[in-house]
Amino acid sequence: MKEIKVDLSDRSYPVLVGSDCLDHVEKYYPDSTKRVAIVTQKEIGVEIPSGKDYKIFEIETGEKAKSIETVIELCRSWVDWGLTRSDIVVGLGGGMVTDVAAFAASIYHRGLEVVNVPTTLLGMVDAAIGGKTGVNLPEGKNLIGTFWQPKAVVCDVDTLQTLPEREWKCGYGEVAKYHFLGADDMRGFGLIDTVLECVKVKTRVVAEDERETGKRAILNYGHTLAHALELENEFTLAHGEAVAVGIRYAAEVAFLLGRIREDRVAYHEEILNHYGLQMKLGKRINPERIISFFLRDKKSKNGITFVLDGDKGVEPVLVQEQNILEKALEVVQ
């Protein structure tokens, strides 16, 4: 088992990556802990060894359930059970669970400690680390949320054994992203080393810019189109699938803007192909609707901000050429 620190002064915490390591979760409970609220979903079926009084709180699956209503229900059932400020919440699941559980923990009694135990590849390489919590509104994804760093993140790759094929693909959508954010070439790495490499990049970026005032935005590589496609398709499209299409799209926008050459676009395709990811949506994309989603995206300041590849690597860029944003959609439909 390896440990990587997220360096955030008094909010620093470890990310553990290994196999058969769920018994480490308990050691991050504060001494005051009497009760452990484990937030999870029925289909996950992972158990955490616990000597404490614990209770499982199951939430529904899917982005529609990633809502403020779910958070309120959770908080109300915690009150019923008598969870206090000196207890702890464990988010045991994919990114949806850890986002919801940590958000609820961050506002319950004005803030309760949380340990994240991701059970999807996407959760391990991305969602469970970095302290962004939140839920969706009908108007958009993750529009309500907090920054609330966990006490620890425990990634046990054994929990991935039951992960459906589609969810692996979703995780690999995010893994592919890290190839453009300074990770080593992970093709040929085993699973634990792949997770570790992604965690290293994520923790480095988060440590530099905890609150996304600058550099952290690069973690959204491929995500501007991804979020729009998820909304357009009413969340029937999985996040990682949308990210893969979004990465190919971002490469095309960068190419049309003259920021990268054809060989770099080809490298994007090579990486996406390596992970068996679809780069095309397989149906027509309505440009006007997609652009309207872009304009609404919370990451847009004074125009449409895209995270794009270029000579200096991936960085946020203000794109004013709407015709290029529309034209680039042609390669991904």
Ligand X SMILES: NC(=O)c1ccc[n+]([C@@H]2O[C@H](COP(=O)([O-])OP(=O)(O)OC[C@H]3O[C@@H](n4cnc5c(N)ncnc54)[C@H](O)[C@@H]3O)[C@@H](O)[C@H]2O)c1
Residues that bind ligand X (CB under 6 A): 41, 43-44, 61, 63, 66, 93-97, 99, 119-120, 122-123, 126-127, 130, 132, 141-142, 159-160, 162-163, 167, 170, 239-240
Nearer to ligand X among residue 34 and residue 64 (C-beta)? 64
Euclidean distance between CA atoms 133 and 101, whole angstroms: 8
Nearer to ligand X among residue 14 and residue 123 (C-beta)? 123
Strands (DSSP E) found in the chain: 2-6, 13-18, 35-40, 53-58, 88-93, 113-118, 135-137, 140-144, 152-156, 304-308, 315-319
User: How many helices, marked H, and strands, marked E, lie in the chain?
Assistant: 10, 11
Nearer to ligand X among residue 97 and residue 199 (C-beta)? 97
Question: Shortest distance, CB of residue 251 to ligand X, whole angstroms?
Answer: 20
Nearer to ligand X among residue 43 and residue 53 (C-beta)? 43
Question: Shortest distance, CB of residue 259 to ligand X, whole angstroms?
Answer: 25
Decide if 34 contacts 86 (C-beta within 8 A).
yes
Which phi-psi region, left, alpha or beta, contains residue 164 (left: φ > 0; alpha: ψ -120 to 50)? beta
User: Between vectors from CA 279 to CA 273 and to CA 281, what angle results, nearest 5°?
Assistant: 150
Decide if 102 contacts 130 (C-beta within 8 A).
no
Nearer to ligand X among residue 58 and residue 269 (C-beta)? 58
Nearer to ligand X among residue 126 and residue 197 (C-beta)? 126
Place of tokens 């109300």: 76
Euclidean distance between CA atoms 204 and 73, whole angstroms: 35
Question: Shortest distance, CB of residue 322 to ligand X, whole angstroms?
Answer: 26
Decide if 249 contacts 329 (C-beta within 8 A).
yes
Nearer to ligand X among residue 228 and residue 260 (C-beta)? 228
> Which residues lie across from 54 on neighbouring strands?
36
Question: Shortest distance, CB of residue 116 to ligand X, whole angstroms?
Answer: 9
Question: Shortest distance, CB of residue 272 to ligand X, whole angstroms?
Answer: 17
Question: Shortest distance, CB of residue 199 to ligand X, whole angstroms?
Answer: 13
Which residue number places its CB atom closest to ligand X? 95
| Tokens representing residue 54 in the block | 């614990």
Question: Shortest distance, CB of residue 119 to ligand X, whole angstroms?
Answer: 4
